[in-house]
Amino acid sequence: MFKLTKVSLDHIDSIIKLRLALLRELGEINTPNEEQLLEASTRQYLLTSLSNNEFISYTAETNGEIVGISGMVLFKRPPYLENLEGLEAYILNMYTVPKYRGRGLAKILLNQCIEECKNSGVKRIWLHASEDGEPLYRKMGFTKKQNEMELYL
């Protein structure tokens, strides 16, 4: 069983650890220097964005270990016909520790993000899916639109 927790400033180290693991897995970190730069920049971003409620994240924990994470950025853009309020969310940093994959954890975290969006008045959620993640997003109702995927609520 997984315990979901909404991330606070107390969780920054855990978020950074999993984000760096994701970026290493995607081949986006190639040197220790790149990792140090990303760690410092991510820490600064989280200190600001978590405080302003612009970045929302959930962790999944089992046996005292954080094994999955989700993240989303909330923002307001000018209105358009499909979204007259302009409030949107961009989902990123969906990551599950490899040995916990295939247990539905990403779906649980994604559902939590979608519920948070509904409660916040978000009308559009979008993301860029990895090849491995795309089937889940399709099952959850996201549709492909050019090079991004989106879900209107």
Per residue in 61-109, pLDDT (tens digit) is 999 999 999 999 999 999 999 899 999 999 999 999 999 999 999 999 9
pLDDT band at 1 (very low <50, low <70, confident <90, very high): confident
- Contact (Cβ atoms closer than 8 angstroms) between residue 15 and residue 57: yes
The whole domain housing 16 covers 3-140
pLDDT band at 131 (very low <50, low <70, confident <90, very high): confident
124-127 and 143-145 as β-strands: parallel, antiparallel, unpaired?
Answer: unpaired
- Contact (Cβ atoms closer than 8 angstroms) between residue 143 and residue 150: yes
Domain count within the chain? 1
The per-residue pLDDT for 149 is: 75
Residue 147 has pLDDT above 70, yes or no: no
pTM, entire model: 0.87
145 within some domain: no
51 within some domain: yes
Instruction: Report how far apart the first and last C-alpha atoms of the chain are (Å, whole number).
Output: 28
151 within some domain: no
